[in-house]
Chain A
C-alpha cells in the first residue's frame, strides 16, 4: 500500500490527524457544559447509563448470553471494589489477553522454555517482582516508622 497507493495511505493518515484535531476541539468547547452532568440528580443519570450498558453488552454479539456475562462481571467488579481489589489490572488483562496469549505461544514454539532465560525477559520478570514487593516493603517501613514516632512521642 505504501508503494502502490501512497496517496490513499496519506489520505488515511491525514483523515486521522484531522479527526483527532476536530475531536479535541469539540471536547474543549463542550467540556464545561458536559461537566454540568455532575450536578444532575442521580435518578436522571443512572437509568440512561444502565440502559446504555445493557445495550452495549447486547450489541457485542446480539445475544442475551452477553447480558449474563455482564451481570457476572458486574458482580465480580462490585466484590473487587468492596474488598479493595484494584479493577484496572483485570480490565487491562481482558484487553491485552489475546495479544499476550498469541505472543506467549509464538515465544514458546520458537524458543521452548528458553525464552524465559533471555536478558530482556529476566529484566521484565525482576521489574514485575519489584512492583509486587516494593509496596509491601515500603508499607512495612512506613508502619515501623510510625510506631517508632509514636513510642518516642
Chain B
C-alpha cells in the first residue's frame, strides 16, 4: 500500500511539474512556448491517465493489478539501506566536489569506495592513480580546464 502511495505521489509530482511548466510558459512569446504547450498539454493528460491507473492499483491489495505492458519492471528494494547507501555516496561526492574541488574529490572518492568495500590496497591505489592521472593528464595538462574554485580553497595548498 505504501508503494502504491509512493507511485501516486511520484505521478502527481510529474503532473505538477508539467502544469508548472505550462503556467510559467503562458506569458512567453509563442516561439518559445509552443513546444511547452504541446508537450506539457499531452504530458498533463498522460499524467492524469497514469494517476487513475495508480489509484486503481493502490486500491487492489498488494498492488498486483495487471499494468499496461509499456511499463517496465519496477526496481525492488535491496534491503532497507540498499538505495540510500549509493545515494549517500553520490551526494557525498557531489558536495566533496564543491568543497575541495574535483581533482582531489574524485580520486579520494575512488580510493575510499574501493577500500571501504573490501578492495585490496593495490586495486585502490591503481584505480585512484588512474583517475588522478586521467584528470591531471587530459583535463589539466592537455586541455587546461579552469577548475571551479572550491568552497574550502583557503584551506588547500595552492
Give chain A's interface residues, CB within 8 Å of chain B.
Answer: 41-44, 46-48, 50-51, 54-55, 58-59, 62-64, 67-68, 71, 74, 78-79, 81-87, 93, 97, 100-101, 104-105, 108, 131-132, 135-136, 138-140, 142-143
Would B102 and A58 count as touching, CB distance under 8 A? yes
With A43-B119, A44-B127, A104-B34 already in contact, the answer to whether A51 and B71 are too (CB < 8 A) is: no
Query: Does any Cβ of A come within 8 Å of B66's Cβ?
Result: yes
Name the B residues within 8 Å of A54 (CB-CB): 93, 97, 102, 106
Q: For B132, give the chain A residue with the smallest CB separation.
A: A51
Interface residue count for B (Cβ, 8 Å)? Answer: 48
Query: Does any Cβ of A come within 8 Å of B157's Cβ?
Result: no
1/0 contact string of B28-41 vs chain A (CB within 8 Å): 00110011001100
Query: A59 vs B138: C-alpha distance in the bound complex, in angstroms?
Result: 11
Can you pick out 25 interface pairs between chain A and chain B where the beta carbons lie within 8 Å of each other? A41-B119, A43-B123, A48-B127, A51-B109, A51-B110, A54-B97, A58-B102, A67-B97, A68-B94, A71-B94, A74-B90, A81-B72, A82-B6, A83-B7, A83-B11, A84-B7, A85-B10, A85-B72, A86-B72, A97-B35, A100-B35, A104-B38, A105-B35, A108-B34, A135-B69
Name the B residues within 8 Å of A85 (CB-CB): 10, 71-72
Query: A101 vs B131: C-alpha distance in the bound complex, in angstroms?
Result: 39
Binding site of B, secondary structure by majority: helix, strand, loop or mixed? helix
Specify which of B30, B35, B67, B113 is in contact with A101 (CB 8 Å cutoff).
B35
Would A139 and B69 count as touching, CB distance under 8 A? yes
Would B131 and A84 count as touching, CB distance under 8 A? no
Closest 5 A-B residue pairs measured CB to CB? A84-B74, A43-B117, A47-B110, A47-B113, A135-B69
Q: For A86, give the chain B residue with the smallest CB separation.
A: B72
Query: Does any Cβ of A come within 8 Å of B79's Cβ?
Result: no
Would B74 and A83 count as touching, CB distance under 8 A? yes
Name the A residues within 8 Å of B139 (CB-CB): 55, 59
Name the B residues within 8 Å of A143 (CB-CB): 66
Would A82 and B71 count as touching, CB distance under 8 A? no
Would A71 and B90 count as touching, CB distance under 8 A? yes
A111 CB, nearest partner CB in chain B, Å? 13
Q: Which of B53-100 contact A (CB under 8 A)?
A: 66-75, 83, 87, 89-91, 93-94, 97-98
Query: A71 vs B89: C-alpha distance in the bound complex, in angstroms?
Result: 12
Q: For B116, give the chain A residue with the smallest CB separation.
A: A43
Would B73 and A50 count as touching, CB distance under 8 A? no
